Amino acid sequence: MTASGGNTSAVGAYPDGVSSYGAYDMAGNCFEWTSSIITATNGGEAGQQVNAVRGGSWYATGRSCATSYRGEGRDGSGGYLTVGIRVAADQS
């Protein structure tokens, strides 16, 4: 939790939002750090090559809380309260 409030939710806290593939929490809990490299245009990383983030977070606007949203990106060596990773595996 930060001084301004907010936090992530437990995995599966919103079962009505499960995808047709059975994936939970695809948007809105924390940005997903990706392997896609982009050039940042805002903030402390402006002009730097950074990893794109997707999916919005608890601290983001409604526009960014969509699986299609491609965020500003973050430097992989940083620590961010609103950015995480998704680990997925095929059950077969």
CB 49 within 8 A of CB 74: no
- Picking from 9-13, 33-37, 51-55, 87-91, which range would have the lowest pLDDT averaged per residue? 87-91
Q: Is the pTM of this model over 0.85?
A: no
Distance CA 28, CA 68 (A): 12
Model confidence at 1, pLDDT cuts 50, 70, 90, reads: very low
4-42 tens-digit pLDDT: 556 777 777 878 878 888 877 777 678 888 888 888 887
